[in-house]
Amino acid sequence: MRAGPSQEDIRRHNLGALLRHVHLGGPISRAELTTRMGLNRSTIMALTSDLTAAGLVREELPRETGRAGRPSLVVRPESSRVYVFAFDVGPDRLAAARVGLGGAILDRREAARQRGPFQLEELAGALAGFARQMRRKTRDDTVCVGAAAAVSGGVRKSDGVIRFGPNLRADEVPFGEELGRRLGLGLPVTVGNDANLAALAEHSRGVGLGVRDLIYLHGDVGIGGGIIAGGHLLGGHDGYGGEVGHMVVNPGGRACGCGSSGCLEAEVGERALLEAAGRLGRHGAAQHGRDAVRAVVDAADRGDIVAQEALGRVGDWLGLGVANLVNIFNPEMVIFGGMLREVYLGSAAQVRSRLALHAMAPQREKLRLRTSALADDATLVGAAELAFAHVLADPLEALARVSG
Amino acid sequence: MRAGPSQEDIRRHNLGALLRHVHLGGPISRAELTTRMGLNRSTIMALTSDLTAAGLVREELPRETGRAGRPSLVVRPESSRVYVFAFDVGPDRLAAARVGLGGAILDRREAARQRGPFQLEELAGALAGFARQMRRKTRDDTVCVGAAAAVSGGVRKSDGVIRFGPNLRADEVPFGEELGRRLGLGLPVTVGNDANLAALAEHSRGVGLGVRDLIYLHGDVGIGGGIIAGGHLLGGHDGYGGEVGHMVVNPGGRACGCGSSGCLEAEVGERALLEAAGRLGRHGAAQHGRDAVRAVVDAADRGDIVAQEALGRVGDWLGLGVANLVNIFNPEMVIFGGMLREVYLGSAAQVRSRLALHAMAPQREKLRLRTSALADDATLVGAAELAFAHVLADPLEALARVSG
């Protein structure tokens, strides 16, 4: 059970809470912080001056003030000075970003990835190269406080090993360790599942802002999920929580890369859609990936019957899967991201009709269905949040570690 | 976002934390509390003397001590003085219990319930009658600090209305309000879903003690679920979380009371089992309920082929449902309660084989399958925990309210 907090615990808690306000909400006046945090002015002043001394925030006079009297100083994150590296490894792309405190993407690099076996050294080398390129362009007074990566696969939370990633063809890959070594910054690289991190991103900065119970569904080659329950990311015992793509929706259905059959991923993933639309292995245009999925939705919009039926079939299974999750979680919002954004927009009628059929009325009466606000940045933004987590938990200790 | 804690917040937090230790863990020495709570001796002394003055705990010399020197006083819950009423409304029974601080059931009443429409006034009247009978037998210095009820249905957390309860034939029933009025103690009655509360009970005092990620599956006529994720009960946006019984496992399968078909409840519930075993509507012996389910399992044990096939079929669907939940939640433990205890014990081979087929290897490598430790008391014990929750959150305020 939890020990009672000491004075030092409380100070650390308050420093983290104040920095979180500034990091997630942007510039804010001391007066507003006093109100929001329920602390008195002198405590807020002491906390901001600690964070200022550590170089995490700065205080400025507000641009204009409508009121008489001395204006309250505005506290801003040191966005251009304090940053993290965020990485994303998907089936079709590698991406890296330098993300400032406050959440802005300051710089980014991206490359297409050929689908094929997971080449650990090549891949970590490429991402570390991106980081070096971006680092060379920073000023001398900048400081990298963390690094994290989103990967399309199941990641053991204790050590960042990719335990399974059929769509990356990764299996028992010590990715975090290798990337950390290649980065050479003396920083550990935390690794998370891409859909989990995208869920966190939509919850912190996207369409799910302030929504305490949401389900984010991510489509790539496969289907991943990230679940926020009661305001917290559902991680499960070892970090593999949220693998909704391997919920069986159609027993005896299509074979799945995981070895089972009839999984949501097998019925709704890219391959199922393209095959139903008669576009698998078709020559010319995109043969797979996001463009190929978009082409099916566009064709359906233009009246192509085969494309319409393919989307309808996929939408039915997607709707059934969403209905199951709505019954289990009673979420306030379901968010469709990655290629599921296109699929949902092209099959919303089927999804809604399945929901009406299979989700219980009380669970769906306040439900909102939405598409991702952060789109393809969601995974990078989520990885950045993961990289900043230890700074928000203990700001001064985190800064002392990287500056010392 | 959370405001910084005041001195008063910290004292309240520490009083609650100390009382929680005593309530859940039983008698404990002041010295042990000092260690476990990470607070110094004088703080522990001040906290226990506040709780003693409020009549929530008492301090005693330990029976024996192997050590020299002054023994540390032992802090005990005032179990026979401070109590709550816990109620349970299932398809086949009504139960009420007087539960002391510390969790012991001090007294109880139970009656069979005829399956039929939910008669609010009759039902609330019967439960309130049980409470009055038990109250009459208490000493003058006892104090009832709360009341809560477990019901087989979906309960809106904001007001305790039963929104749906096909197996109780309840629909939009203001149960908490009516039971509170009939009790006449001036106390609100909190209402929760029975499987949710049983999950809480197994997590606090049963086979799931200390397990932060668990799934409890409860079988009655229907199938309910209670999920502990990261140490917290998954409630969802309005309190309807955990309705795993209405996850579709067999699209186009058996019709379900909820209006959908192929739900876990429709394929695995009492009716599915008895029908497959050719025992629905059979005369003589029990026609439904726990005894009828037990009779099928017993017959299968004795070599009855029809009963074995029925259990096998139900076990297959149960296993598929469990596999889906294991993929989604990555729990450390799945607990089978109510009539699912018997069903699981009779079909463990099928359940395990479905898990091997449909659950991903990393999610199941540390998974433990268990049966309920609290058996038919789980719902009452969980309801008692719900009734005590406000006392543990703010002990002195809660006591002042009922004593004043």
List the pLDDT tens digit at each of the 404 positions of chain A. 344 567 888 899 999 999 999 999 999 999 999 999 989 999 999 999 999 999 999 999 887 666 677 778 999 999 999 999 999 999 989 999 999 999 999 999 999 998 888 999 999 999 999 999 999 999 989 999 999 999 999 999 889 999 988 888 888 999 999 999 999 999 999 999 999 999 999 999 999 999 999 999 999 889 999 999 999 999 999 999 999 999 999 999 999 989 999 999 999 999 999 999 999 876 555 678 889 999 999 999 999 999 999 999 999 999 999 999 999 999 999 999 999 999 999 999 999 999 999 999 999 999 999 999 999 999 999 999 999 999 999 999 998 888 75
Contact assignment for B358 to A248 by CB distance below 8 Å: yes
Nearest CA in chain B to A155: B362
| pLDDT at B282 (0 to 100) | 60
Q: What is the separation of C-alpha B116 from the centre of its chain, rounded to a whole number of angstroms? A: 24
CB-CB: which of A6, A227, A362 is closest to B240? A362
Work out the pLDDT band at B66, boundaries 50, 70, 90.
low
Could you tell me where the beta strands, DSSP code E, fall in A220-279?
223-229, 232-233
How many helices (H) does chain A have, and how many strands (E)?
14, 15
Work out the pLDDT band at B2, boundaries 50, 70, 90.
very low
| pLDDT at A274 (0 to 100) | 95
Start-end of CATH 3.30.420.40 domains in chain B: 82-197+378-403, 208-372
DSSP H or E segment with residue B217 = strand B214-219
Residues 158-177 of A with CB under 8 A from B: 163-164
| pLDDT at B4 (0 to 100) | 58
Nearest CA in chain B to A14: B4
What number does CATH give the domain B7-77? 1.10.10.10
Complex confidence, ipTM: 0.93
Quote the percentage of chain B above a pLDDT of 70.
96
Residue whose C-alpha is closest to residue B37's, from B21, B58, B49? B21
Residues 185-224 of B with CB under 8 A from A: 212-213
Distance between CA atoms of residues A217 and A372, nearest Å: 9
Please tell me the distance in Å from B333's CA to the nearest CA on chain A: 9
Nearest CA in chain A to B242: A328
- Average pLDDT of every residue of chain B: 93
Burial call A27-64: b when 16+ CB within 10 Å, e when fewer: bbbbebbbebbebeeebbbebbebbeebbbbbbeeeee
Q: What is the pLDDT of residues B128-176, one digit of tens each?
A: 999 999 999 999 899 999 999 999 999 998 899 999 888 888 889 999 9
Distance between CA atoms of residues B254 and B324, nearest Å: 19
Start-end of CATH 3.30.420.40 domains in chain A: 82-197+379-403, 208-372
Euclidean distance between the first and final Cα of chain A, in Å? Answer: 34
Average pLDDT over residues B279-297: 79
Residue whose C-alpha is closest to residue B125's, from B198, B86, B182, B173? B182
| pLDDT at B8 (0 to 100) | 85
For domain B208-372, give its CATH number from 3.30.1490.190, 3.30.420.40, 2.10.109.10, 3.40.50.300.
Answer: 3.30.420.40
CB-CB: which of B1, B20, B328 is closest to A243? B328
Q: What DSSP designation does B1 have? A: -
The half-sphere exposure of A301 on its side-chain side, counting CA atoms within 13 A, is 11
Work out the pLDDT band at B403, boundaries 50, 70, 90.
confident
CB-CB: which of B43, B154, B331 is closest to A237? B331
Nearest CA in chain B to A25: B1
Q: What is the assigned CATH class of domain A82-197+379-403?
A: alpha beta
Contact assignment for A4 to B37 by CB distance below 8 Å: yes
Start-end of CATH 1.10.10.10 domains in chain B: 7-77
Residues 38-67 of A with CB under 8 A from B: 38-39, 43
Amino acid found at A312: G
Contact assignment for B230 to A232 by CB distance below 8 Å: yes
- Tell me, yes or no, if A21 comes closer than 8 A to chain B by beta carbon: yes
CB-CB: which of A43, A235, A328 is closest to B244? A328
Average pLDDT over residues B87-95: 94
Average pLDDT over residues B61-79: 82
Work out the pLDDT band at B261, boundaries 50, 70, 90.
very high
- Tell me, yes or no, if B258 comes closer than 8 A to chain A by beta carbon: yes
Contact assignment for A362 to B154 by CB distance below 8 Å: yes
- Tell me, yes or no, if B238 comes closer than 8 A to chain A by beta carbon: yes
Contact assignment for B230 to A235 by CB distance below 8 Å: yes
The CATH architecture assigned to B82-197+378-403 reads: 2-Layer Sandwich (3.30)
Contact assignment for B320 to A366 by CB distance below 8 Å: no
Distance between CA atoms of residues B86 and B190, nearest Å: 10
Distance between CA atoms of residues B109 and B98, nearest Å: 9
| pLDDT at B7 (0 to 100) | 80
